[in-house]
A and B are shown apart, each in its own frame.
Chain A
């Protein structure tokens, strides 16, 4: 299937010029490049502008609650390891409201691909600071500027032991698509933090601002197998924004280690017969 066929022919409610359009295209390219049939893919999203992407693609969709994207995706993957499960939402959803699920699913290492739309603001609720907003970022809700230091999702993921951590910029659609495809192919928890401008609310970090600062890691010979180097890149700060795979390692997934899941997806197993259960209740007699 070509990438176009993954794009749903529906009216799109995003603002003109939003990076979400490019991420949608990149995801379609990734699915196409992997040859994944739409019905074998489930896109799990939360709530927010980014989360609406589930309605704009031709794949299965679970559009759940704000912040609970990764939790629902993990439950689905544990019931149906046979499906490709992608959890996708905005920075507020994944890093703010859903922070606990991010932490613990990195620990679980379920084979999920998490795509974070990181534009440093809350779009749908009109421009409040997100967890990744820079210090001093002024909004109607933060009139004195954001006082909290921004969350560093890359450093957090590497530090917790996520086996695949990458960052891309939505303006580079093809590269973003490739990174998403790599993340899906990677067995285990994968995070792709996609930076993108918000033309409606974030006038500072616009398209040009990002374009000037991109640092493509593979061009600088970054060793993505070296966790300490990945952490150093994630923490280095300054003007250069790392783009590419920061860290990658192979380690057993939750599903591979789970004795029940080796027997096939529990979501597709038949109902028990009374005689099977008779054996169980006989333990009470």
Chain B
């Protein structure tokens, strides 16, 4: 069972609100959904589309073609009419173009019956709800939530639309889960919630799509959970403020996209040098430069890996979906604190903005531990050296002002006490100390996901990382037994044992990546000498769909 509803309109017509209401209603009804938001970089006009896939099993990818199109204007009708599946229907206002279009006089009803022209979208939504056979009571609850004080006319709009049509498109399956068993959230919300769950106390950032939803999420919960969220004057300030706060003991984070991250790079290197933890959420969008601000891609992999002058360890993880984003963000905070390093969460617009139904999140799954010395521990120490040389490279970390021990960190090369030095023997010891932390970190990295489990002999393996997970998995299911799926989520340090085994066994490895140049292929080649034989690229700013991967792979 796979039903796709697409809501399309101009910015300002309420595509996102209507999409949220429908996604939440279907979730309440006990169905799996995946909702993808695609939009132009503007506040009014342009093209916004919310593509909602509904399933009786978990859905983790978007689709190109829809069964039901809610077109909020004629332009969207013409644009998306070709992307209708066989037997699909369009719900739109105005002239009937063909048999597939069900016309609903939404604007007239909204104006004449409600005196609220903007409610035309909700009228059309009412018609869609009828065609889906969805209980209008569930939708009404979500309309109340979404509109608050302005709910009344919108509830009437929903009912008016519901009366306008007959019949159904597809049949909704019975509920698959009960209340509380599952959760519905976007990747951006998941990163924000993961940060909160990990004890994030400070976020400084400059607004940039698609990094901003994480800042907004934390800002919304800042007062209740005790977090300082500050909009910085620029991204350079953002990361330096975060490092100042982290030095002071606050688990700190920044959120940005490629261009903002570029400005943070010197600060990233500072984090490496002063061994001060910071978590960077890097939501990718296509570049170079400003690129396509509201679209998706995976072009920042090698940039995120190599950014920063000098040599220092870092942690880099690319979540596969919202559930993964929650746990990996928690883990990034823990590893950043434990190893006193910068940790990067690499997402993209598709992941940040897409809704998905996931198993109920369990914050207890990632154990939290304080990694700083207490006043008592410091009191028992004689001399305190912030950068004491240790076998693991990790020096016990004190915060300033909690005991009479002074804490000195320096962006210059420094001795164990943090004082600037040009003693080249100390320099050498400090380089080795910092890099030793990377050895420990390497041992923490989980193996890549291999599907189906077992041997890959004779198989063609689709290789991906990050948010392409759902589309690749679905493609492998369609392609059949000859195919397998290898997926990476923790990318630095890179575990190579499993990769070597896969290359050894498989007939061929096909890289599927949202770039034009195959960056993961270059990374694996650099680390192992192995290269994917084929490459399925995507760099038009749109997310992968299973159907398109299958077409490419089959050639």
Using a CB–CB cutoff of 8 Å, the interface residues on chain A facing chain B are: 10, 37-40, 42, 44, 47, 52, 54-55, 58-65, 67-68, 71-80, 82-83, 100-101, 103-104, 258-261, 263, 265-272, 274, 276-278, 280-281, 284-285
Contact = CB atoms under 8 A, between A and B. Distances in A.
A32 to B, nearest CB: 16
A148 B196 CA distance: 47
Interface of B: 179-185, 189, 193, 196-197, 199, 201-202, 204, 221-223, 225-228, 230, 232-234, 236-237, 240-250, 252, 266-267, 270, 274, 326, 360-364, 368-370, 399-412, 418-420
A60 B370 CA distance: 21
A79 B250 contact: yes
Contact of A261 (B228, B237, B403): B228
A83 B244 CA distance: 12
B249 A79 contact: yes
Contact of A281 (B183, B204, B266, B412): B183
B249 A80 contact: yes
A75 B245 contact: yes
Q: What 4 A-B pairs are tightest by C-beta distance, nearest first? A: A75-B241, A75-B244, A267-B249, A76-B244
A40 B236 CA distance: 27
Residue in B181, B250, B360, B407 whose Cβ sees the most chain A Cβ within 10 Å? B250
A271 B411 contact: no
A67 B404 CA distance: 29
A280 B225 contact: yes
Contacts of B202: 75, 78-79, 266-267
A274 to B, nearest CB: 4
Given A63-B411, A100-B234, 20 more contacts: A40-B401, A54-B410, A55-B410, A61-B408, A61-B409, A64-B243, A64-B244, A68-B236, A75-B241, A76-B244, A83-B401, A104-B232, A260-B226, A266-B202, A272-B196, A276-B225, A277-B197, A280-B193, A280-B196, A285-B184
Nearest to B365: A274
B407 to A, nearest CB: 5
A78 B241 contact: yes
A260 B228 contact: yes
Contacts of A277: 193, 196-197, 363
Contacts of A73: 244
Contacts of A71: 232, 236-237, 240-241, 244
A58 B185 CA distance: 50
Contacts of A265: 248-249
Nearest to A97: B236
Nearest to B236: A68
A101 B239 CA distance: 12
Contact of A60 (B245, B270, B400): B400
Contacts of A44: 244
A272 B183 CA distance: 21
Given A100-B233, A258-B228, A274-B364, A39 B411 contact: no
Contacts of B404: 37-39
B72 to A, nearest CB: 27
B244 A72 contact: yes
Contact of A266 (B226, B240, B401, B408): B226
Contact of B237 (A54, A104, A270, A280): A104
Nearest to B400: A60
Contact of B223 (A67, A79, A101, A259): A259
A285 B228 contact: no
A70 B351 CA distance: 35
Contact of B230 (A47, A59, A64, A78): A78
Given A39-B406, A103-B233, A76 B182 contact: no
A107 to B, nearest CB: 9
Contacts of B189: 284
A22 B226 CA distance: 42
15 contacts: A55-B408, A60-B406, A61-B410, A63-B409, A68-B237, A71-B241, A72-B244, A75-B246, A78-B230, A80-B245, A83-B400, A266-B201, A280-B197, A280-B225, A284-B183
A260 to B, nearest CB: 6
B223 to A, nearest CB: 5
A103 B245 CA distance: 20
A162 B432 CA distance: 45
Nearest to B189: A284
Contacts of B364: 274
Contact of B406 (A38, A76, A274): A38
Nearest to B179: A285
Given A54-B408, A59-B406, A260-B228, A281 B197 contact: yes
Contact of B245 (A260, A267, A281): A267
Contact of A65 (B222, B240, B401, B402): B240
Nearest to A279: B224
A74 B406 contact: no
A83 B248 contact: yes
A62 B241 CA distance: 12
A257 B313 CA distance: 38
B269 to A, nearest CB: 9
Contacts of A104: 232-233, 237
Contacts of B370: 270-271
Nearest to A44: B244
A38 B249 CA distance: 18
A61 B197 contact: no
B450 to A, nearest CB: 29
Contact of A80 (B181, B248, B361, B412): B248
B267 A68 contact: yes
A80 B223 contact: no
Nearest to A52: B420
Given A60-B407, A278-B363, A267 B201 contact: yes
Contacts of B201: 79, 266-267, 269
Contacts of B247: 62, 72, 76
Nearest to B402: A268
A143 B150 CA distance: 68
Contacts of A82: 401
A76 B243 CA distance: 8
Contacts of A78: 202, 228, 230, 241, 245
